[in-house]
Amino acid sequence: MAQDVAIIGIGLHPFGRHDTLTGRAQGAIALRAALKDAGIGWESVGIAYGGSHDAGNADALCNDLGLTGLPFINVANGCATGGSALASAVAAIRSGSAEFAVAVGFDKHPRGAFNPHPRDWGLPDWYGETGLMLTTQFFALKTRRYMHEHGITEDALVRVAQRAFRNGALNPQAWRRREMSYAEIAESMPVNLPLRQYMFCNPAEGGAALVLCPAEIAKRYHPKPIIVKAAVVRTRHHGSFEVFSPALAAQQAPAPTVTASRAAFEQAGVGARDIDVLQLQDTDSGSEIIHMAENGFCEHGEQERLLRDGETEIGGRLPINTDGGCLANGEPIGASGLRQVIEICTQLRQEAGARQVPGDPRLGYTHVYGAPGVSGVTILQR
């Protein structure tokens, strides 16, 4: 049995818009906060994995933190950058190649929707030039089909967004801290129907960092270490319905989220029923609904009832995105997956203040999904 790895330090630079700070500066602030939380210095870190999509090489953080000569691996895995950095840091500690490892991410995106270039994704120019290569279109097309197949109505789309902003209002570090009425969301501008303005998250800025070490020594550094029971990344299969697909195969295959989730549950030796608090990728309301079932937390089609009955609220049986998720925090790609892990650590440490889930949460779960079809899942235990 591989040795357990623990998170002993978490640090976040709040997501949002910070005109006077570079993305890297926000990453450095998050990283210093994580090191302080762990009570160790940068010179003790044996290996680091970090990523940023639009704000430069993560390894440039060494110019801020100190040129200690450590191996610093730049990670570039889209929305799964944070999850990939964490999975790599865990593997490094398990292999004994470092005692202290860091996973860090930051970003600073231009305003408005992302504008990917077809060739970077192995796609022909016409796909972008004729207006078919937009992430928002994909989310809408997948959501529309899912609603059709599983009897989900627009009501569920509104309720996901409403809960995100309600939770964001309870989170002092959230970007969007204003609750929104049902009507305000349901009547907001159509962006890509069935998805409307307030059902989408926005590109943003921010930084997030974790410090990890072997679980057996973790209590020397933090009174409440969080054990990483699983950290899994999986890519798409032929036939799964992915972003940036000029066509879909005749026969459908499960999403990478499904395979990542199953592998994580198997590694951790627990099931969906055991999870007390969770984060699901919510680039948009529809994605969160689909991800509830793809990660095994409910049957396909059951989501609407769970949302209506309040089961996904902070006080419910299945508290989802307790910090407001991507919808209320925005998405700095390099940092977003680590923000999810930080929120679960905060909940399991019972330090989430007004948004703390009640009872005695022991097990948490995080999930990211991104282009061109990659998912990262972690299972965390107090």
Partner 1 sequence: MPHPVLASPDLIRFEGDTPHLVGSRCDECGEVYFPATDSCTRCTATRMSPHDVGHRGTLWSWTIQGFLPKAPYNSGETPETFRPYGVGYVEMASGIKVESRLTVADETQLQIGMPLELTLIPYRTTGEGEVFTFAFRPSASA
Residue (69 or 110) nearer to partner 1, CB: 110
Residue (154 or 274) nearer to partner 1, CB: 154
Residue (125 or 266) nearer to partner 1, CB: 125
Residue (19 or 120) nearer to partner 1, CB: 120
d(CA 175, CA 169): 9
Contact status, residue 365 vs residue 279, Cβ threshold 8 Å: yes
Residue (245 or 322) nearer to partner 1, CB: 245
CB of 373 to partner 1, least distance (A): 11
Contact status, residue 106 vs residue 13, Cβ threshold 8 Å: yes
At 96, list the tokens.
């004994």
CB of 135 to partner 1, least distance (A): 11
Residue (145 or 166) nearer to partner 1, CB: 145
CB of 122 to partner 1, least distance (A): 10
Residue (142 or 229) nearer to partner 1, CB: 142
Residue (69 or 131) nearer to partner 1, CB: 131
Residue (276 or 294) nearer to partner 1, CB: 294
Contact status, residue 183 vs residue 177, Cβ threshold 8 Å: no
Contact status, residue 106 vs residue 26, Cβ threshold 8 Å: yes
d(CA 8, CA 222): 5
CB of 104 to partner 1, least distance (A): 29
CB of 261 to partner 1, least distance (A): 22
Task: Count how many residues are written for the chain.
Answer: 382
If you ran DSSP here, which 8-state letter would residue 99 be given?
A: S
Instruction: Please name the residues in contact with 29: beta carbons below 8 A apart, sequence gap of 6 or more.
Output: 11, 13, 21, 207
CB of 259 to partner 1, least distance (A): 16
Q: Which residues bind partner 1 (CB under 8 A)?
A: 112-113, 115, 117-118, 124-126, 128-134, 137, 140-142, 144-145, 148, 189-195, 238-239, 245-251
| Positive or negative: CA dihedral 50, 231, 219, 173 | positive
Instruction: Please name the residues in contact with 262: beta carbons below 8 A apart, sequence gap of 6 or more.
Output: 296
CB of 207 to partner 1, least distance (A): 25
Cis peptide before 110 (omega within 30 of 0): no
CB of 126 to partner 1, least distance (A): 4
CB of 245 to partner 1, least distance (A): 7
| Separation of CA 185 from chain center | 23
- Other CB atoms within 10 Å distance of the CB of residue 190: 11
**Which amino acid does the sequence have at 269?**
G
Nearest 5°: the CA angle 368, 61, 21 is: 80
- Taking phi over 0 as left and psi of -120 to 50 as alpha, with beta for the rest, 315 belongs to alpha
At 328, list the tokens.
């209320």
At 330, list the tokens.
């925005």
